[in-house]
Structure 1
Amino acid sequence: MRFDALIILLFICSHRCLCEQRVDAKFDSERNLVYLTDHQQTALSQDVIATGFYENSINETGWSLLEVTTSPNASDSLQAYAAGLVEGSLTRELIEMHWQNTIGNYCHNQQDYCYKLDKFLKRNFKFISKKVDEQRTRSAYWHQVGLVLEQLAGLEDGLSQQTISAAQKYLPAILNVTSRVKKVTGAGSCSGLIKVLANNSDLFVSQDTWNDYQSMLRILKKFKLHLHRIASPNSKLIPGNTASFSSYPGSLQSGDDFYVLSSGLVTLETTIGNGNRSLYKNIKADRIVFEWIRSIVANRLANSGKEWAEIFSEYNSGTYNNQWMIVDYKLFKPNEPLKDNLLIVLEQIPTLIKYADLTEVLRQQTYWPSYNTPYFEEVFNLSGSQEMVKKYGDWFTYDKTPRALIFKRDQANVTDVPSMIKLMRYNNYKHDPLSRCDCVPPYSAENAIAARSDLNPKDGKYPFEALGHRPHGATDMKLTTNQLRKSLKFIAFGGPPYDDVPAFVWSKSDFNSLSHIGHPDKWTFKPIVTPFD
């Protein structure tokens, strides 16, 4: 399927929903209260500390939209709290639907596990809160962690529609954002591609999210927060004060992850997991900061790829293990040689973080692919990947797994935005020899750049679970270019691929009994460009 680039750029303009909502968060200094009001059609006034725009356009485009801006006249803590309050209030209904669809029965029949988890998380919350209280006035890292907690507290209060004291309030809302899913052998989570066009004329960065289909209530977000490096009004503003990203209801982070930042960085990841369970004994609640917080902190503070990696590496949790790619567009000049440190790649597993400048790989092969397999040999071996190769074969290798081979074969066909979208949405599993497996039938819709595991026959025979029938696949595609990222924009394509395969339709799926409140029935949307100014 080919898309005219102009149509892609203009599509969002002709698909505006009438269900826009706007709200302001104001500060009452006499009562020390933050409260919500209807948005006034004026610039941020002295008493307005945050304003938010929300549009539920999922049935038109496959995405909702959220934009939150805070006032530079307010303290960092007030800005963070108000930003969360505005988001929680505007997206309350979507959060409730997403909760029911994904983790509403989280602790059903696993009360013992949830008790242990609750105990672990509360201990961790106590640890990071103590660090914030002690160090935020002199530590940029802990100041930003504190702001994340304050933003999360605002999100919780916006969700419950409460007006509360604006004094610092650390709520253990973190207990509500961790999910537990059944371990699926070989389960993939995201495809990523960084592609240099001919003569270094452009640089594309793209990612497909792979997830369970119940998660497809999505929000494109833009946060513009005038925060300082440390808790001092004389401190410099953070480089990543503005971020555009794909996300989920109730999540301060992307979760995919895919971010376009005002620092000139674009950050993304694909999950590599960890099959070495012996490493988990090293995870201590009073020594770690969870990955989602560390990624937000690094996005805000870093001005280069190496700086991002250094910040992210502090207090490694080992609980959500990914291959991160940090692209510094400030170092990219069209039609000029690629500069060192343009691409930093980082991999995390429990007890180990490894990162390096891999721009040379990008120079040599003109692309960098990512597909849930560790690149660094030390990470590959320590994570148990070699044992999986011995047990199941090439599918678990770095260079011979199907997506590695598909990217290697097809990346040279990328010459423009439409051809990049085509590759990132690619799934022709019945006819592509690289999608074949020792299965019955002899192929799997998992073996594609954009998976569609729902299309695999439920009575098929597969050597491991990931290749089989399940409500899982590529649920989106995001892509930015050198030009788009300058205005912090990216192209977003919502829903599973449908070019060479049937579109996903809930009512025709044998997964229709799964909760999917608020979802469109048929997922055949077109790409849009994030519309934020």
Structure 2
Amino acid sequence: MARAAVLVLIVLLAANVWGGRRQLSVRRDAEGQLELVEGWVDGALVTADFNNTINTTGWSFLKIIGPTDVGDDMALAKAAGMAEGAATADLMLMHWKNTLAGFCSKESALCDKVTAFIRANQQFMEESVAKYSESDPFWYQVQLFLAQLEGLVDGYTSTGLEPLTIQQLFLMQISGDLDALQSALSDSGEVGDKVIGAGKCSALVKLLPDHSELFVSHDTWEEYQSMLRIYKLYDLRFSTAGNIAEVVPGHRVSFSSYPGMLLSGDDFYQLSSKLVTTETTFGNSNPALWKYVTPETVFEGIRNVAANRLATSGEEWCRYFSNYNSGTYNNQWMVVDYKLFERGQSSLQDGLLWVLEQLPGKIVMEDQTDMLRTKSYWPSFNIPYYPNIFNESGFAAMEKKYGTWFSWDMSPRAQIFARNHSHVTDMTSMVSLMRYNNFQHDPLSRCNCTPPYSGENAISARSDLNPPDGKYPFGALGHRYHGGTDNKATSSALMEDGSSLGCVATSGPTHRQQPPFQWSTSGYSPKPLGHPDKWEFYPVNLSWDS
């Protein structure tokens, strides 16, 4: 990187140590090298607009905008990474320290296995990119992702902050895969401190009875240390493949994300192809399947980035995503194709909702539009729907051991969704349902526990409110600094033009029926870097055109 660019960014970061707005461009210098400059510049390869409003909204916002025509894809990818790395560097460092800095510190032998696996996987991807990227759209998008990651490192490094290496930032990209990867490589077949039944996310696809609207909404469930959030828009007109000068259908993507991540991780994506893709995680509790986890695969997040860019339909998205199944970060994916939905139309077109479930060595995917026709909703709550996935993942054994809490149709969230989905009449009531947690009074939140209920048994969990000295049959129901850390919701009206990609986004643990979460009174110490103390934030109406 040019020395002038480094100096410019050090000055910029000195003026914006925390909070406020940063605008950056990446252009070519006189020698044709990429350089970072402050502000918006005509003819730039990429422009970035970053606005940190976490203390007022719970979110920061980042726009990465490229040129309107197909150009030098590799330069565009690297420039996009550079702009993001420089603009969000302080949050990247804080998020790393809050979440991953101590990764693998407990078991050095297992950490060595994970590191060796990741290096072998990177070598496999590099070799496959060299062989196939010129003509294979999937591998071409993998190549561009890796170039964007290189740019992210360069942009971050230009600020002069404490170093983060490309290996550390790659670890951030695959953070969702790490639990499964550690289990696959562990001698026991599972991570030693794994919480039994730990949930990650709730989601709902809801059709109004008169077909006047179709909503898609997602709650992230995560450890509270992760709540340093950035909502992002990338508009990067990459080619579909190295020898095809055709813009990818999903060139414009809006997604909830984190500092230093080139993907969502939650996952919730809205695309210019008018697809919305989202998931909830069910994991894998069957050690016999870990033999299918090998380095000759592509980690989950990179596969979903490629599928998001290339697909024009739900079925096509599932086909792309199924390539080189890693068997890690095993999820139920929902893909809604808003091109196939017409408000007020009495019938629904096939292909409107595709649902995919992944395990090591196995993927099942089907058109589930009939579920919307017959029941008007599709719920998702960390339990597999397809019987063979349910059985092979270990859920059947868990249900036999612990009861209906692990059942697809009788678990607490399944029953709450079944009871309450008909209350949804508009966006406000959709968000209200997705932020619902009345666990002390809702009979569906009760458990064989002391006290006889759990903050985990709700659409948006608040496990921090479970007493530390309570008694619970398994770990997920007990006291943890874990719960629903956000909500995102969109509709056909907000997705209509495929440009504004509007949504309603709420950051932080729910406080609709519960008190706001506050670090200083929580008993947790020390407070994670960069976090507001009190998480009492309200829905933000997000439209990228405005």
Taking the TM superposition and a 5 Å limit, the aligned residue runs for 1:114-129 are 114-129=111-126
From 532, 540, 544, give the equivalent of 1:520: 532
- Structure 1 unaligned segments of length 5 or more: list them: 1-16, 164-169
Q: Verify: 1:144 aligned to 2:141, yes or no.
A: yes
How far residue 472 of structure 1 moved from its aligned partner, in angstroms, is 0.2
Structure-1 separation of matches of 2:252 and 2:297? 26
- Structure 2 unaligned segments of length 5 or more: list them: 1-17, 161-165, 180-192
Residues 335-367 of structure 1 deviation map (CA, whole Å, 9 limit, x = unaligned): 111110000000001010000000001110000
1:9 corresponding residue in structure 2: none
Q: Verify: 1:38 aligned to 2:47, yes or no.
A: no
2:284–2:330 CA contact under 8 A, matched in 1: yes
Structure 1 341/178 Cα, relative in aligned 2: closer, same or farther at 3 Å? closer
1:55 corresponding residue in structure 2: 51
Structure-1 separation of matches of 2:19 and 2:394? 51
Which amino acid is 2:517 matched to? F
1:7 corresponding residue in structure 2: none
Q: Verify: 1:251 aligned to 2:261, yes or no.
A: yes
1:211–1:474 CA contact under 8 A, matched in 2: yes
Residues 257-300 of structure 1 deviation map (CA, whole Å, 9 limit, x = unaligned): 00000001000000011000111122111x21000000000000
Taking the TM superposition and a 5 Å limit, the aligned residue runs for 1:232-251 are 232=243, 234-251=244-261
Structure-1 separation of matches of 2:172 and 2:252? 26
Q: Verify: 1:504 aligned to 2:501, yes or no.
A: no
2:190 corresponding residue in structure 1: none
How far residue 107 of structure 1 moved from its aligned partner, in angstroms, is 3.3
1:49–1:74 CA contact under 8 A, matched in 2: no
Q: TM-score, normalised by structure 1?
A: 0.92
2:304 corresponding residue in structure 1: 295
Flag as ranges the 4+ runs of structure 1 deviating above 6 A: none
How far residue 73 of structure 1 moved from its aligned partner, in angstroms, is 5.7
From 306, 316, 328, give the equivalent of 2:325: 316
Residues 383-431 of structure 1 deviation map (CA, whole Å, 9 limit, x = unaligned): 0110001100000010000000000000001001111111000000010
Structure-1 separation of matches of 2:19 and 2:412? 43
Structure-2 separation of matches of 1:272 and 1:455? 23
How far residue 531 of structure 1 moved from its aligned partner, in angstroms, is 4.0
1:398–1:404 CA contact under 8 A, matched in 2: yes
Structure 1 503/284 Cα, relative in aligned 2: closer, same or farther at 3 Å? same
Structure 1 31/112 Cα, relative in aligned 2: closer, same or farther at 3 Å? farther
Structure-2 separation of matches of 1:220 and 1:173? 18
Identity %: 49
Structure 1 471/238 Cα, relative in aligned 2: closer, same or farther at 3 Å? same
How far residue 377 of structure 1 moved from its aligned partner, in angstroms, is 0.3
Structure-1 separation of matches of 2:150 and 2:200? 29
Q: TM-score, normalised by structure 2?
A: 0.90
Which amino acid is 1:466 matched to? A
How far residue 135 of structure 1 moved from its aligned partner, in angstroms, is 1.1
How far residue 502 of structure 1 moved from its aligned partner, in angstroms, is 1.2
Taking the TM superposition and a 5 Å limit, the aligned residue runs for 1:466-485 are 466-485=476-495
2:174–2:301 CA contact under 8 A, matched in 1: no
Q: Verify: 1:223 aligned to 2:234, yes or no.
A: yes
From 499, 505, 519, give the equivalent of 1:492: 505
1:348 corresponding residue in structure 2: 358
Structure-2 separation of matches of 1:340 and 1:270? 23
Taking the TM superposition and a 5 Å limit, the aligned residue runs for 1:425-464 are 425-464=435-474
How far residue 515 of structure 1 moved from its aligned partner, in angstroms, is 4.5
| Count of residue pairs the alignment pairs up | 503
Q: Verify: 1:407 aligned to 2:408, yes or no.
A: no
1:20 corresponding residue in structure 2: 21
**3-state SS, counterpart of residue 470 of structure 1:** coil
Structure-2 separation of matches of 1:171 and 1:436? 44
1:153–1:171 CA contact under 8 A, matched in 2: no
**3-state SS, counterpart of residue 247 of structure 2:** coil
**3-state SS, counterpart of residue 275 of structure 1:** coil
1:8 corresponding residue in structure 2: none
Structure-1 separation of matches of 2:70 and 2:310? 20
Q: Which has the higher contact order (CA 8 A, sep 6+)?
A: 1
How far residue 162 of structure 1 moved from its aligned partner, in angstroms, is 7.7
2:100–2:172 CA contact under 8 A, matched in 1: no
2:220 corresponding residue in structure 1: 209
From 381, 386, 409, give the equivalent of 1:371: 381
Structure-2 separation of matches of 1:78 and 1:365? 48
Structure-1 separation of matches of 2:529 and 2:350? 47
Structure-2 separation of matches of 1:292 and 1:408? 30
How far residue 483 of structure 1 moved from its aligned partner, in angstroms, is 1.1
2:70–2:245 CA contact under 8 A, matched in 1: no
**3-state SS, counterpart of residue 246 of structure 1:** strand
Structure-1 separation of matches of 2:260 and 2:523? 28
2:182 corresponding residue in structure 1: none
1:166 corresponding residue in structure 2: none
Which amino acid is 2:210 matched to? N
Structure-2 separation of matches of 1:497 and 1:191? 13
From 150, 157, 160, give the equivalent of 1:160: 157
1:118–1:175 CA contact under 8 A, matched in 2: no
How far residue 74 of structure 1 moved from its aligned partner, in angstroms, is 3.3
How far residue 178 of structure 1 moved from its aligned partner, in angstroms, is 4.0
Structure-2 separation of matches of 1:503 and 1:173? 32
Taking the TM superposition and a 5 Å limit, the aligned residue runs for 1:410-425 are 410-425=420-435
Structure-2 separation of matches of 1:394 and 1:176? 35
How far residue 458 of structure 1 moved from its aligned partner, in angstroms, is 0.6
Structure-1 separation of matches of 2:341 and 2:543? 24
Taking only aligned residues, the RMSD between alpha carbons, in angstroms, comes to 1.6
1:220–1:530 CA contact under 8 A, matched in 2: no
How far residue 200 of structure 1 moved from its aligned partner, in angstroms, is 0.3
2:173–2:301 CA contact under 8 A, matched in 1: no
Which amino acid is 1:495 matched to? G
